[in-house]
Structure 1
């Protein structure tokens, strides 16, 4: 029996971009066991967790969660995994709700204003005024076209209020 240990630092909120997990899933065989520290490290969506368990079943492999000491090797373990998946799903929703509430409260107090600008709006307007296209300005300054449009929009609202 050989043990292969792989680790990943990505979020369990989604399987997208989880290259280590995808690699593990490709190499699991009948009788193998995927061991994770906590269920929320593998997925926070009940659907993702259940899909993963289903994929493991199809390969003849099982899932073992260390913190809660649960395995899908038996039918009782499946029920517990399903419940833990639902709890992890709810926890993710609570985290997002608290984050949104914190941002809204900070905005109400004038504290949260988003990320600081990397490029001065005047520089954007100067380049557009000299004939550069909005797309060319965005590429040259390594910013999005939306940032260019916002800078030009801000100019319009500033000149209208003066």
Structure 2
């Protein structure tokens, strides 16, 4: 069976349509015969399409991504993925870096770039935390407004009318856990 060039594309949210479309165009232009794509956060949820892509690739195949941050959320995660690919005899190509792990230099560069990307992310998060702390100290930071708690009266009313947690959550557009939390706080 001939080797395949397989792509993986990801954006963090469903609103990032243009970003996903660009990745898909780039992967197609790079010769990907099959592309797995999804619109989920790399941190918050399971990435089923990445799992499917890793399961799909076979020895001699190449997995292609447009950027390293579309593939892995940390250096540890990157090493897990590249370890899986290496065990299967699959190369990894990162288009934005012109990097291909089919070569020893590509493997070295991948580890260096992964470490740098993780370092940059940690710096960004540190600056974000500092900015939030300063805004809080200045009385300008309120945080995200709790959306479900504003609906507490409606949750209690619907429950008193015999509504189930699932029905209340669906009707008000909040999660089941929020319904249970509000009801628990009411008792």
1:20 matches 2:49: yes
8 Å contact 1:35–1:66 — kept in the other structure? yes
8 Å contact 2:132–2:141 — kept in the other structure? no
Task: Tell me the residue number matched to 1:155.
Answer: none
Task: Tell me the residue number matched to 1:63.
Answer: 92
Q: How far apart, in 2, do the equivalents of 1:12 and 1:89 lie? A: 14
8 Å contact 2:64–2:95 — kept in the other structure? yes
Task: Tell me the residue number matched to 2:117.
Answer: 88
Deviation track 1:2-43 (CA, whole Å, cap 9, x = no partner) reads: 5112222233457x5111100001111011000001111111
Give 1 or 2: higher strand fraction: 2
Task: Tell me the residue number matched to 2:58.
Answer: 29
Aligned residues: 146
Structure 1 length as normaliser, TM-score? 0.70
8 Å contact 1:31–1:62 — kept in the other structure? yes
Distance 1:149 1:90, change over 3 A: farther
Task: Tell me the residue number matched to 1:5.
Answer: 35
Consecutive unaligned residues in structure 2, runs of 5 or more: 5-32, 170-177
Q: How does 1:60-139 map to 2 (within 5 A)?
A: 60-108=89-137, 109-118=139-148, 119=150
Calculate the aligned-residue CA RMSD, in Å.
3.2
Larger Rg belongs to:
1
Match of 2:81 among 52, 64, 72: 52
Consecutive unaligned residues in structure 1, runs of 5 or more: 131-135, 153-162
